[in-house]
Amino acid sequence: MSGFAFKAVTENKSDETKRVTGIGGIFFKCKDPKKMREWYESHLGLATNEYGAVFEWYQGADQSKKGFSQWSPFSEKTKYFQPSEKDFMINYRVENLEKLIEQLKKENVTVVDKMETYEYGKFVHIMDIEGNKIELWEPNDIEYEKLGQKMGSKTTK
């Protein structure tokens, strides 16, 4: 089984845009996001803030290039995951989001909204074949880290 996973990760389709490069975040619904953040901080050591927790890591062999992944509990009443009916959403880190969106449209993938650009990255939402809403993020990790520092947030390392 692990041989298949390794092959799938390392195979490069010729002449195609690089797509997902990692997990950008895990988002899920719960009854009380504040209590959920407190529980994870107390029992599992996550450095939480008002949005959840940010995991800090280094990108591949380049130990000077930081990366970040977001963990966020949302209110069970959130509409952010719509049109999905699911209780979770995964955010994937990608490269060159504009080019990827063009390619996904050619492949008849449902693009839910228009790309939004912030200092810390570009975002768009798509739907998979089972109705799961997926957030795609082309991160600007330098600006993302600055935003966290400005907010006084700590990362979970």
Q: What is the pLDDT of residues 92-142, one digit of tens each?
A: 999 999 999 999 999 999 999 999 999 999 999 999 999 999 999 999 999
Mean per-residue pLDDT of the chain:
88
How many domains would you assign to the chain?
A: 1
Residue 42 half-sphere exposure, CB side, CA atoms within 13 Å?
6
CATH number reported for the structural domain that contains residue 86 in this entry: 3.10.180.10
Q: Which of 51, 37, 73, 28 is nearest to 152 (CA)?
A: 51
45: containing domain: 20-151
Model confidence pLDDT, tens digit, residues 28-42 = 999 999 999 999 998
